[in-house]
Structure 1
Amino acid sequence: MNQKILLVEDEEDISNLLEIYLSDQGYVVDTYNNGQDALESIKKMEYDLAILDVMVPGINGFELCKKIREHYFYPIIMLTAKIEDIDKITGLTIGADDYMTKPFNPLEVVARVKTQLRRYKRYNEKAVSVKEVDEYDIRGLKINKATHSCSLFGEPIELTPIEFSILWCLSENQGKVISSEELFEKVWGEKFIENNNTVMAHIARLREKLKEPVKKPKYVKTVWGVGYKIE
């Protein structure tokens, strides 16, 4: 069965171009030019990935991303004409998996779609293939690789696949400092690019879900100039 992609983009030239390139790769693409219609479709249809333009009429891309993350964990790629780091960080901290700034090469969008779908497929395959319980319990923080679940003092914590992978990587290396470069290459499976804030943004979102104090986090700690660790 062909994988289904939600595309929300109000610039007709861009949406038509992306739809052509993605369809040529065998993907089924549902295209919307506003957030409200897209949200109605999300409630009815099952998608494998979403591509969201930040500045669309009605419900903007950031809000739409939040709505999706309330119920679904499939990959989300954000599109924007802005270049400020704060916009990228905003998108990543609310649950987006990747971020592209216009203008972009549609072939790069297709490549990133394939990367995100491969990663999501591996995540789900692991979730059903592991038979033995493989779990860490770190002072009330439990993370289980077999069920891909996480809880804090018995309260379930909903993590995206990326957030889970980051927390698992840190948990299985307790006491060891993992650099941003190493985390990125292990979790995303790609070469780390200098000045990439992706890991930092996801760590911030992860800490927020774990109700970590900003200045003195109990679990995911920053070793300045080196990386992150769980003691």
Structure 2
Amino acid sequence: MSSSQYIKGNTLATSGAIINVDRLVNFLKSNTNITRLILRYSKINYEGIKELAKLAHLTSLDLSCNCVGTEGAKILASGNLINLTSLDLGGNEIGDEGVEALASGNLTSLTELKLYDNKIGDRGAKALASGNLQKLILLSLGWNEISNEGAEALAASGNLKNLITLKVYDNSINYRDVQTLASGNLVRLTSLIYNYCSIDETLPKNVLPQLKRKCNKRKIGEEPDSKLSEVQTSLHFDSKGFKAI
């Protein structure tokens, strides 16, 4: 891989490329103007993560759909990424233990954290709710295994009060606990992105048929960056409550 061909401005981005991580890290150490690193679908594993975690000048790191795993998440959490404000670990099977490490590690400058499709349950949600990621503005937890217990922990969090956007689509959270999230301690929250594929009779009967039809058309893939997929509903709410749009 020739790093220069993937650079635009302060960003080095690639998807599916074969990467020599040692060579890449050496290149980035000599080119600290590159602060945003996107390495999707590149089979980066634990050994590669150890090198990337040394890059203190990075502000944004996207390792979605790699082989980070629990141990890789621990390395990132304990590394030297002190200036990192955005981290995307979607599709890396980091699990609850990996989330616990991230929530209690050195990544205290994070404002955006994407953990969709990572086999995260209530234990991981509770760790995020009580961790040291107080600067988070966006938290993405779609395609995981979080239930009402985890949703209630997030809603009651005293450490996520700066959160503006929360994505919890395709979990096991019922309609009532969406309301709990909307009315809890997340006082700055203005966008709750959610779908009802896991919902049964807790959903109002006049809403259920249409949403079930949408769920049957579900397509699994990367988390959309700019607009909602067909099955996702954005709930925007104020002091009077919230409504689906």
Fold shared, TM-score > 0.5 on shorter chain: no
Where relative contact order (Cα < 8 A, 6+ residues apart) is larger, the structure is 1
Give the alignment's TM-score, normalised by structure 1: 0.32
Give the alignment's TM-score, normalised by structure 2: 0.31
